[in-house]
Structure 1
Amino acid sequence: MTAAPSAARRGLTGRTALVAAALAVALPLTAVAYTKAAARLWPGTPPAMAPADRQADLVLVEKSARRLTLLREGQPLAEYRISLGAAADAGPKAQEGDERTPEGRYRIDWRNPSSVAHLSLHISYPDAADAARAEAAGAAPGGNIMIHGLPNGWGFLGNLHLLADWTDGCIGVTNAEMQAIWSQVPDGTPIEIRA
């Protein structure tokens, strides 16, 4: 595992918390009640998760299907429904702040157990071609693209996060799904993100 990321590389922006708060209004369970229940069930930070017996050798993300599939030797290990960047359908990420999710082949190059969302796996965007395209357009390519769970304290939303694309370009899943992905995807695993 590589060195821990700096604070600037930790995860999401404040927009994520605003979307989560809007979704929470529709729920009968309040954030306060959830926090108290979670503190009783899981005091402190979540335990370290051991790697699964069968690890993925490819992460496949299909943006149009809103699906993430973990593959081992071409066979699916697990499949998850996902939320993407708020402008994911507008094409691949082109520059910082465009709220698009990248497209292409990358790697999971580091992980953050203490991110602002429940665990996060960093995607190696931008590559040299992404950076060159952004530079040619006079823009910064952006970065800090992750697969992550829900913002800390908002895990009770569960699958309600699928009602809207709410990330700034990342790939969002539930906290339970993120724990499973975390345990099956080692650093260095290739990830292919398709339109």
Structure 2
Amino acid sequence: MSRLRVLLGLLALSVLASCGGDPKFKRYNGPEVTQILVKKEERRMYLLHNKRVLESYDISLGFAPTGDKVKEGDGRTPEGLYFIDRLNPQSRFHLSLGINYPNQRDLAEARAAGVDPGGDIFIHGRPKKFRNGIEDWTAGCIAVTDEEIEEIYAMVEVGTPIWIGK
């Protein structure tokens, strides 16, 4: 009888352990996201497997959404080819994926213009103040809902290319 109790106790602990964890960390078992495409004028972001769209999202951008990011504080979202270079589970905006801005091209352009290019560009969630998704409010980042960033965080790996265009 005591072996049965031990086995039942272990089974119960196993079930409880599998239910734990932070619910913001999702699992993804679908096709690999091979690239991200951001169309600033459309306010849309697409996760693709080769040329097939896996998911698409409405986005908010920097508070000055037109044009390429030139310097720190300009409120613009950068344009061009970048890569996801880090995942941030402790983001102020729920979860976030880092974009490798500034890259070498951005640094050279900023140097030539005598300005600081800035940095810390991410794809991240939205604080309550901006949950309506209507306005552009970031300092140059790409914002989606908290539920969407949970999905994106599970799907996208470090090294994934991201093309940000008009």
CA contact (8 A) 1:150 1:173 kept: yes
Deviation per residue, 1:80-135 (Å, 9 max, x gap)? 0000000011x100001100000000000001011100100000011111001111
Find the partner of 1:88 among 65, 88, 97: 65
Find the partner of 1:111 among 65, 75, 87: 87
Q: Aligned AA for 2:82?
A: Y
Q: 1:190 to 1:139 in 2, by over 3 A?
A: same
CA distance in 1, matches of 2:164, 2:39: 6
CA contact (8 A) 2:24 2:150 kept: no
Q: Aligned AA for 2:102?
A: P
Cα-Cα RMSD = 1.8
Q: Which has the larger radius of gyration?
A: 2
Secondary structure of residue in 2 paired with 1:88: coil
Deviation per residue, 1:27-49 (Å, 9 max, x gap)? xxxxxxxxxxxxxxxx9954532
Q: Percent identity?
A: 47
Q: 1:44 to 1:50 in 2, by over 3 A?
A: closer
Task: Show structure 2 runs of 5+ residues with no match.
Answer: 1-19
Counterpart in the other structure of 1:165: 136
Find the partner of 2:78 among 90, 102, 106: 102
State whether structure 2 residue 138 is matched by structure 1 residue 191.
Answer: no
Q: How many residues align?
A: 147
Q: 1:52 to 1:99 in 2, by over 3 A?
A: farther
Deviation per residue, 1:152-185 (Å, 9 max, x gap)? xx28x64x0x211010000000011111111111
Task: Show structure 1 runs of 5+ residues with no match.
Answer: 1-42
CA distance in 2, matches of 1:52, 1:124: 26
State whether structure 2 residue 150 is matched by structure 1 residue 179.
Answer: yes
State whether structure 2 residue 76 is matched by structure 1 residue 76.
Answer: no
Find the partner of 1:52 among 20, 23, 29: 29
Counterpart in the other structure of 1:124: 100
Q: Higher helix share goes to which structure?
A: 1
Secondary structure of residue in 2 paired with 1:163: coil
Report the TM-score, using the length of structure 1 for normalisation: 0.71
CA contact (8 A) 1:83 1:173 kept: yes
CA contact (8 A) 1:60 1:68 kept: yes
Find the partner of 1:141 among 117, 126, 129: 117
Q: Aligned AA for 2:157?
A: P
Report how far residue 71 of structure 1 moved: 0.5
Report the TM-score, using the length of structure 2 for normalisation: 0.83
